[in-house]
Structure 1
């Protein structure tokens, strides 16, 4: 007799991943002894040292428990249980946490499933192994200047495309899907990788060193350790990265702190329209704290990989404001801003370039095509609209985007 544990989604290697947002898992009995009508089991999690932890429930909730008792019918009928990560205990690698199902009578192990509580983390706090996996995937995506990274570089450029990404309320949703597309491409290379964030209102000595994002020399050429995969970085035909020396390992940029940024949203009467002013400060100022280099110009900024860590923190700040304000439902008028605005900045607007080529006045080219898929969820689809990007955790909807931040819980 054993127990089958069936997650809703697996990758090609039969691995599965969760975030803080629980998913519905089916558990059923296989091969029970003759004459047995049902078996009482206990579902728990086994975590390795420093690994992720899990919570269980019979409904979708953030208030799960560390174990749950089920009765499994002998006829093999599936019994649902909701499984999610226990905030804030995220995984550092696949398989550092697993589900165990044991019979209550004797404690025999009947079924197990390894998994990973996969979240986006503070880049300054990554383990060496997490950092190195990320760098290896990033270098592979770059492909010494000939890889898929070029599409992401070309999505974030001047001219007509820039009006889709900046200068209006679509700034935050556009960059959310941009990061999600980028992260999914990294995970196609290494499923254990997530996009880390650079918390730019704090010193980050573990980010700005030769082993990670590099250190600019006097000529603003970024220097890496010989073992760093980014040594071979090519962003626009030529090797290397042009970045100013304005941000050092002990430097805290003079921009809005996290509490100050969150307060832009207008607590205790929060509105997205007020919070969206963070496009200028801290977002814009975070770019400019480097003084000179690619990162200071929207047209060239994505040539420097630190761009994606910077914008991951911008998105995290939006996610944290959404959680603090309890605003996740796109139907809520405070979740976005009523238009009309330029194309790409209205709640029902499709997001360029994932929506494909469109007619004037929108850009007519779409480098990269549709949003990258993931085996962990069908949301937000191949051609997302702004409305799709608001409830990323599935707090009020039945779908989720399969990403979360290490310091922003799921709370329904």
Structure 2
């Protein structure tokens, strides 16, 4: 007798990538004698941790007992990555089914708890897989990274800056890139540069490069970004205006969380987070650095690690204030009627393919990429689709999570089976 474990979101190769959000799974007896069995599911991985429950909850445990019928009928349960126990490689998280009475192992399934982590704490293999995928996406200036570069220019800035859609749009943007990287290596997640802290492991020749005296970034020989090319120019220029052993010239995370408990105060105005820490992080590099300016910032791949951290700060603010629902009046700010692309129900450029005034004249990249992990946010995401990335309010998650933002049901949500 064996136990087969099937988890929602498996790819064509049967690989499963989990976050902190519980997903549905089943266990069933195969090759049995017709007799049922009581089995215990356990997390037995070497690094990644797993939690189980019979309901969709944030209170799962490291083991779960199930009674499986002998006719092979599957029994449902929920599974999630255990907060603070992410994977570092595929297969270091394992769900194991054993006989309750004898302890005999009846089946197991290796998975990965794939989580966005601080770039400064990545293991060497995690860092190198990310860099290899990023280098492949750029392909010496001939790859799909050109589309991401063309999305974020002076001509397209009204789609993503200076209005409430700033945070949802950039959340979609980083996720689009992440999914593009995962086509090359599905174990990759975009790490974040926590710019209010020192990141000595990031600005090195082994990772994002070390600037020389004139700001040209150098890499070790054979580095995946050694031939980085954008706008037909080889190389990266990044001249920090701060001591790279310390933080950029930004307010710290605690101050960011204190900007306001409503979206309009948190995001907007001269004291909102779009200005500081986000804007200050960009201009913590000199004007000789492309990342300093909106129109050229994406020439530097550090951009996406910077914005992964912006997204993390928004995600943490949402969690702290229980503002994950776009229908929550304090979770999103109203905007002017003519400000297309920044209303909850607006589809977002360029994924909607809409061109012509007031939208930009082109829509690079095509529809939003799908993934077997989750159907969200769809091929033409709306502003509202980018809010609840962990799906704490139900529905489908966006398929990523941060290492310090847990899945936690809001006080008004009662855990249940649906």
Distance 1:253 1:393 in 2: 29
The offset of 1:59, in angstroms, is 0.6
**Where in structure 1 are there 5+ consecutive unaligned residues?**
none
Match of 2:11 in 1: 11
Match of 1:351 in 2: 348
Aligned pairs for 1:106-117 (under 5 A) are 106-117=102-113
Distance 2:242 2:104 in 1: 56
Match of 1:298 in 2: 294
Match of 1:105 in 2: 101
Alignment of 1:320 onto 2:316: yes
**Equivalent of residue 285 in structure 1, options 271, 280, 283:** 280
Contact 1:316 1:405 in 2 (8 A): yes
Give the 3-state SS of the residue equivalent to 2:58 in structure 1. coil
Q: Deviations over 1:204-250 (max 9, x none)?
A: 00001111011111111111111321111111112101111324431
Distance 1:76 1:382 in 2: 37
Match of 1:81 in 2: 77
Match of 2:132 in 1: 136
Distance 2:385 2:346 in 1: 10
**Equivalent of residue 179 in structure 1, options 174, 181, 187:** 174
Alignment of 1:367 onto 2:356: no
Give the 3-state SS of the residue equivalent to 2:233 in structure 1. coil
**Equivalent of residue 56 in structure 1, options 37, 52, 59:** 52
Distance 2:354 2:314 in 1: 28
Q: Deviations over 1:150-184 (max 9, x none)?
A: 0000000012x210110101000000000000000
Distance 1:126 1:247 in 2: 23
Relative to the length of structure 2, the TM-score reads: 0.95
Give the 3-state SS of the residue equivalent to 1:82 in structure 2. strand
The offset of 1:358, in angstroms, is 3.6
After superposing the two structures, state which structure 1 stretch, 135-144 or 334-343, moved more.
334-343
The offset of 1:327, in angstroms, is 1.2
Match of 1:124 in 2: 120
Distance 1:125 1:239 in 2: 29
Match of 2:405 in 1: 408
Distance 1:56 1:247 in 2: 45
Q: Deviations over 1:242-289 (max 9, x none)?
A: 111324431322211000001112xxxx21111112000010000000
Match of 1:155 in 2: 151
The offset of 1:360, in angstroms, is 2.2
Aligned pairs for 1:159-170 (under 5 A) are 159=155, 161-170=156-165
Report the RMSD for the aligned CA atoms in angstroms. Answer: 1.1
Match of 1:2 in 2: 2
After superposing the two structures, state which structure 1 stretch, 238-247 or 52-61, moved more.
238-247
Contact 2:392 2:408 in 1 (8 A): yes
Contact 2:164 2:335 in 1 (8 A): no
Alignment of 1:203 onto 2:198: yes
Give the 3-state SS of the residue equivalent to 1:47 in structure 2. coil
The alignment of Structure 1 onto Structure 2 pairs a total of residues equal to 403
Distance 2:355 2:75 in 1: 47
Distance 2:242 2:135 in 1: 23
After superposing the two structures, state which structure 1 stretch, 361-370 or 162-171, moved more.
361-370
Match of 2:38 in 1: 40
Give the 3-state SS of the residue equivalent to 1:232 in structure 2. coil
Contact 1:40 1:104 in 2 (8 A): yes
Distance 1:376 1:256 in 2: 35
Give the 3-state SS of the residue equivalent to 1:101 in structure 2. strand
Match of 2:412 in 1: none
Contact 1:55 1:67 in 2 (8 A): yes
The offset of 1:331, in angstroms, is 1.4
Give the 3-state SS of the residue equivalent to 2:175 in structure 1. helix
Distance 1:334 1:141 in 2: 38
**Equivalent of residue 213 in structure 1, options 208, 232, 252:** 208
Distance 2:205 2:357 in 1: 45
**Where in structure 2 are there 5+ consecutive unaligned residues?**
410-418
Contact 2:163 2:335 in 1 (8 A): no
**Equivalent of residue 238 in structure 1, options 230, 233, 236:** 233
Distance 1:359 1:234 in 2: 29
After superposing the two structures, state which structure 1 stretch, 336-345 or 76-85, moved more.
336-345
